[in-house]
Amino acid sequence: MDFLLDNFVALTVTGLSLGAIYALVALGYTLVYGVLQLINFAHSEVFMYGAFAATWTVYAMGGRAGASTGAVIGYLLAALVAAMAFSGLIALLLERVAYRRLRKQNAPRLIALISAIGASFALAELMGLRDKVADFLGLGETLRPYVRGARNSSGFPEIIDTTPLFTLGDYDVTNIDLLVITSALVMMLALDLFVARTRFGRGIRAVAQDPESASLMGVNSDRTVQLTFLLGGLMAGAAAVLYVVKIGSIRFDTGFLLGVKAFTAAVLGGIGNLRGALLGGFVLGLAENYGSALIGTEWRDVVAFTLLVVILLFRPTGLLGESLAKART
Amino acid sequence: MLLTVEGLCVNYGRIEALRDISFEVPEGSVVTLVGANGAGKTTTLKTVSGLRGVRAGKVVFAGEDITHLPAHRRVERGVSQAPEGRGIFPGMTVRENLEMGAYVRKDRKTAAYREDTERVLTLFPRLQERIGQSAGTLSGGEQQMLAIGRGLMARPRLLLLDEPSMGLAPKLIQQIFSIVTEINQQGTTVLLVEQNAAQALKRADHAHIMETGEIVRSGTGAELAGDDAVKAAYLGGDI
């Protein structure tokens, strides 16, 4: 208990930055669920591919510790663009390969879920065997720096020196904390505005609320579903950059646990609800930090999933309840 | 001819929902399909709007064969449907629902669009009162008004109305039907599906009576309303 109180500010700030990453990934689960009532289990892999894209991009640009501020901003922006593009692409591919035919044939949702789990393992293992893939394509030598140690962690170049910016209580808030939290909030705000205010956003909400009526209004439901996957992918890509900046490395199977946590965040807030995902992410990040401070770091995941069970027992629809379908915005 | 339906056959699995349906809707008219529950009226409408695929037959709209055109493309051509059970978007405001009706229009920033919004809100003053309210909180009658108003926002050449009187109080039914007539007088062609045969026949230029997936009688609204067999089967004794 003393540890929790002594480090309350530190635990809160790091919990929020972890929660911000959960929330960004959770948006992908919640968007797709809102529109298709499908749990896109492979969304964790969409995130993981983005993290690799970010790492490779900065590596290819020669990013290393001690770069000038201008260069660091350049690296980060390039990493962001690459990760969002790659994650978006993977999300679109996933929809095309793993789900579309099932949807056209009105397959039961359980079938789609199994397809999702299969796609998740396939994507993760493909990344974990990327050295074999490169050898097979005859590019093993050229791509060596990118594919070596395919089953180990790949470190993200340490382009940012962690520096304290200001003191809050007795904790020095670092530039990375601030970067992660503010970028995540900006992305979420942008998504929220897009869904609430734009024509395409209205199309997404219309399909979520009543797919048949939506097509009677002239909404192309295939396009809308693709757009939904793309948006989820873009958010996961952004989350991936923040993740590698904060954590410093990525592995082919990192997506799994993070994906389950992000999914937990989505359910916690009320799946199908965009603002619920945001709230769920932050609550989960904080709960993990406070919980592990109370009973020990090795209990971190136990705390997270116990919280999920408790919320589902007492509030099965999540904290904010409403789905994308019923939510006003 | 604005709409021609020719030899339409539609199946739900192995059940024949429609058998050899043919009828025409002239530009500027009100045409109605009446009949009991399960006669195939709604299925016919959904086939015209593109929500159901056909086994055989043709749907021709304004000279173009649209039989295999997806629903969302038919809206661009000028076919708009106010679906059965209203099908409004409960989580959107009344205004957003109306905007959804105009989803395919490219002129959403122009005076023409504002005029159409005005026109709908003049037809349905209740919607004006509830403009910022979420549509899920509207009463049944208001939701019906919203569904029709939303259908009009697409500026359709053909408006498909599926059971606009369903579940409404008698006074409201009268009101909805006079508005249908008014919409038609303002130049929109209407294809109306109704169980309330008395009202529908009174308003229609042409009418078709459906039974178990087939058209069994056709004529002008007045002819059918005066027909003894039709009276006995659909109009009851106390009109």
Q: What is the per-residue pLDDT across B71-109, written as a single tens digit (0 to 9) for each?
A: 999 999 999 999 877 789 998 999 999 999 999 988 878
Contact B104 A205 (CB under 8 A): no
Q: Which of A104, A213, A216, A219 to mutate to test the interface with B (most CBs of B within 10 A)?
A: A216
Domain assignment of residue A320, yes or no: no
The CATH number of whichever domain residue B208 belongs to comes to: 3.40.50.300
Q: Which of A205, A218, A221 lies nearest to residue B91, judging by beta carbons?
A: A205
Chain A residue with Cα closest to B92: A328
B11 in reach of chain A (CB within 8 A) = no
Question: Which of the residue ranges A117-131, B177-191, B225-239 would you say has the lowest mean pLDDT?
Answer: B225-239
* Longest alpha-carbon distance in chain A: 61
Domain assignment of residue B198, yes or no: yes
CB A22 within 8 A of CB A261: yes
pLDDT score for A55: 95
Q: What gap in Å lies between CA A276 and CA A262, rounded to an integer? A: 12
Query: Which whole number is the average pLDDT over B183-207?
Result: 91
pLDDT score for B110: 87
Q: Which residues contact B135 (CB under 8 A, 6 or more apart)?
A: B88, B89, B90, B91, B92, B93, B94, B96, B97, B143, B146
State how far residue A217 is from chain B, nearest Cα, in angstroms.
Answer: 5
B40 DSSP assignment: S
A98 in reach of chain B (CB within 8 A) = no
pLDDT score for B239: 41
A321 in reach of chain B (CB within 8 A) = no
CA angle A17, A20, A22 (to 5 degrees): 115
Parent domain of A305: 2-146+172-314
Domain assignment of residue B213, yes or no: yes
Question: How many domains does chain A fold into?
Answer: 1
Contact A205 B81 (CB under 8 A): no
Q: Which of A212, A221, A327 lies nearest to residue B83, judging by beta carbons?
A: A212
Query: Which whole number is the average pLDDT over B145-159?
Result: 93
pLDDT score for A323: 55
Domain assignment of residue A162, yes or no: no
Domain assignment of residue B70, yes or no: yes
Domain assignment of residue A183, yes or no: yes
Instruction: Enumerate residue ranges in chain A where pLDDT < 50.
Output: 325, 327-329
Contact B51 A215 (CB under 8 A): yes
Q: Which of A215, A217, A274, A328 to mutate to test the interface with B (most CBs of B within 10 A)?
A: A217
Contact A206 B89 (CB under 8 A): yes
SS3 content of chain B, % helix, strand, coil (to 5): 40, 25, 35
pLDDT more than 90, % of chain A: 68
pLDDT score for A147: 85
Chain A residue with Cα closest to B51: A212
Contact B92 A218 (CB under 8 A): no
Is residue B193 scored above 50 in pLDDT? Answer: yes
Q: What is the per-residue pLDDT across B29-85, written as a single tens digit (0 to 9) for each?
A: 999 999 888 889 999 999 999 999 999 999 999 999 999 999 999 999 999 999 877
**B76 contact residues in A (CB cutoff 8 A):** 218
Chain A residue with Cα closest to B156: A217
pLDDT score for B238: 46
Domain assignment of residue A281, yes or no: yes
User: In a 10 Å sphere around its CB, with 0-12 CB exposed, 13-18 middle and 19+ buried, how is residue B92 labelled?
Assistant: buried
Q: Dump the DSSP string for A177-193.
A: HHHHHHHHHHHHHHHHH
pLDDT score for B236: 63
Q: Is B192 helix (H, G, I), strand (E, B) or coil?
A: strand
Contact B91 A221 (CB under 8 A): no
CB A250 within 8 A of CB A156: yes
Q: What is the per-residue pLDDT across B126-143, written as a single tens digit (0 to 9) for each?
A: 999 999 999 999 998 899
CB B201 within 8 A of CB B30: no
pLDDT score for A260: 94
Q: What is the per-residue pLDDT across A298-307, written as a single tens digit (0 to 9) for each?
A: 999 999 999 9
Contact B154 A218 (CB under 8 A): yes
CB A299 within 8 A of CB A252: no
Contact A217 B88 (CB under 8 A): no
Q: Tell me what ipTM this predicted complex has.
A: 0.89
B17 DSSP assignment: E
* CB proximity under 8 Å: B 44-73 to A: 49-51, 70-73
pLDDT score for B37: 83
Parent domain of B213: 1-78+191-239
Residue B32 pairs in a beta bridge with B192, B207
Question: How many domains does chain B fold into?
Answer: 1
Domain assignment of residue A157, yes or no: no
Query: Which whole number is the average pLDDT over B196-207?
Result: 89
Domain assignment of residue A92, yes or no: yes
The CATH number of whichever domain residue A177 belongs to comes to: 1.10.3470
Domain assignment of residue A211, yes or no: yes
Contact A206 B92 (CB under 8 A): yes
Contact B87 A327 (CB under 8 A): no
Domain assignment of residue A160, yes or no: no
